[in-house]
Amino acid sequence: MSVAGRTRSLWTAIVATPILLFVLAALQVRIDAHTRSEAAQKQDLLVRSGSLLKRMSLGYDSLLADVYWTRAVQYYGSRIGQRGENFELLAPLLDISTTLDPRLIVAYRFGAIFLSERKPLGADRSDLAVDLAKHGIAANPNQWRLYYDLGFLYYWHLKDYPDAATAYLEGGKQPGAPLIMKLMAARVAEKGGSLETSRMIFAEMYESTKDKNVRKILMKQLRALKAEEDEMHLDEVIAEYRKRFGRNPASTKEMVAAGLLPGVPVDPVGFPYVIGADGKSHLNPDSPVELPKP
């Protein structure tokens, strides 16, 4: 390139970079502004699409992708558990992040969780989560963990066990894939869904990331799944108590006294379970553990 050409490129970068950063900062302010409607915020994101930002990034694609991924985590984390929340900006933020950097594996993996979890723990959009996972596999065909996530989406959220088994089996063929992929394929194909398997998958995801915000969110999911398992078991014990005594127990202490439980059962953060007027086990009203709405 000639001296004149290099000079023009340098001046272009000098002029364009502040503009790009200003646009990005303005968009972030709009996302955080509580006075703006969701529809208006969504329009802001559509105007500033990932492909447009990629063209404007001057080679800083990965940096911008990290910024938008951080925004996606913050956006999701600030709304998780809120009744009536639709997470309308979540999918656009994830799309921008992965368009800017198609190799941003963390955005595919945990973005799919954020999208697929039932309200109020997520957007309850398994269809968008599957699209995101497939997008990640298309851009990173050798990443076995993305097949792992796709299998989980099919298995747990869509109850599509044949496609789940196929995803696990295909992922098991990728470099570095652990034996668990093929074991999962066999287990899902044979038995279908179970909370135990779901918790095992979330635990693997928890151990595979060092991001504190993501780990916090995943721990919330793991506690919810453990509580669901506990309540299912307790309801079985309550049924046995009812069969023996002709009535529902007033508390778990009565089941302990009857020899049906070794001790008073507590949830994942230490609060004792209670028995409701409906004769079923429930989380203690003071417990911070949140179960997804059925």
Domain boundaries, the chain: 3-221, 222-282
Model confidence at 225, pLDDT cuts 50, 70, 90, reads: confident
Asked if the model's pLDDT at residue 280 lies above 80, the reply is yes
Question: What is the structure's pLDDT at 86?
Answer: 87
Asked if the model's pLDDT at residue 6 lies above 50, the reply is no
Torsion of CA 143, 149, 154, 158, to 10 degrees: -150
CA distance 74 to 79: 9
Question: What is the structure's pLDDT at 46?
Answer: 46
Question: What is the structure's pLDDT at 259?
Answer: 95
Whole-number Cα distances in Å, 112 to 122, 126, 177, 200, 207: 10, 8, 20, 17, 17
Whole-number Cα distances in Å, 39 to 29, 42, 115, 130: 15, 5, 18, 24
Residue 73 carries which DSSP code? H
Any residues with CB less than 8 A from the CB of 80 and at least 6 apart, and which?
120, 121, 122, 217, 220
At residue 270, the 3 state secondary structure works out as: coil
The predicted model scores a pTM of 0.62
How far out from the chain centre does Cα 237 lie?
32
Omega prior to 285 cis, within 30 of 0: no
Length of the chain: 294
Residue range 240-265: average pLDDT? 95
Work out the end-to-end distance of the chain between its first and last CA atoms, rounded to an integer number of angstroms.
63
Residue burial 247-283, b: 16+ Cβ < 10 Å; e: rest: ebbeebebbeeeebbeeebebbeebbbbbeeeeebbb
Model confidence at 253, pLDDT cuts 50, 70, 90, reads: very high
Question: What is the structure's pLDDT at 192?
Answer: 65
Count Cβ atoms below 10 Å from residue 76 Cβ, excluding itself.
27
Select from 16, 31, 40, 102 the least CA-distant residue to 70.
31
Regarding predicted confidence, which is higher, 181 or 105? 105
Write out pLDDT tens, residues 70-98. 989 999 988 887 888 889 889 999 999 99
Question: What is the structure's pLDDT at 261?
Answer: 95
Regarding predicted confidence, which is higher, 285 or 24? 285
Residue range 237-241: average pLDDT? 96
Question: What is the structure's pLDDT at 167?
Answer: 95
Q: By mean pLDDT, which of 66-80, 83-97, 103-117, 198-212 is the weakest? A: 198-212
Write out pLDDT tens, residues 28-49. 555 455 434 555 555 455 445 6
Select from 107, 156, 161, 154 the least CA-distant residue to 135.
107
Q: CB–CB of 263/199 below 8 Å?
A: no
CATH hierarchy code of domain 3-221 = 1.25.40.10
Model confidence at 178, pLDDT cuts 50, 70, 90, reads: confident
